[in-house]
Amino acid sequence: MMAAPPEVLPHVDAVQAALEAADLTVFLGGTPTTAGWTPPDKYAVLYPEPGEAVRDSLADTRADFMTTFQVTCVGGSMERALWVADRVRQALSGPLSVEGRSAWRPEDLGGPPVQRDDDTTPPAWFVPVQYRIKSLPA
Taking the domains of the chain in order of start, what are their residue ranges?
9-31+40-137
pTM over 0.75: yes
Residue 59 is predicted with a pLDDT of: 65
Cα–Cα dist 73/79, whole Å: 11
Could you tell me which of 62, 71, 73, 51 has the C-alpha nearest to residue 124? 73
Alpha-carbon separation of residue 97 from 18, 43, 82 (angstroms): 9, 22, 25
CATH topology of domain 9-31+40-137: STM4215-like (3.30.2000)
The answer to whether the peptide bond before residue 122 is cis (omega within 30 degrees of 0) is: yes
Rounded CA gap, 78 and 69, in Å? Answer: 22
Q: Is the pLDDT assigned to residue 126 strictly greater than 70? A: yes
pLDDT of 1 > 60? The answer is no
pLDDT digits (tens, 9 = 90+) for 105-125: 999 999 999 999 999 888 999
Contacts of 28 (CB under 8 A, 6+ apart): 12, 16, 45, 46, 48
Question: What is the model's pLDDT at position 127?
Answer: 97
Q: What confidence score (pLDDT) does residue 99 get? A: 92
CB distance 17 to 46 below 8 Å: no
Express the helix, strand and coil content of the chain in percent, nearest 5 each: 20, 35, 45
pLDDT digits (tens, 9 = 90+) for 47-94: 999 999 887 666 667 889 999 999 999 999 999 999 999 999 999 999
pLDDT at 37: 81
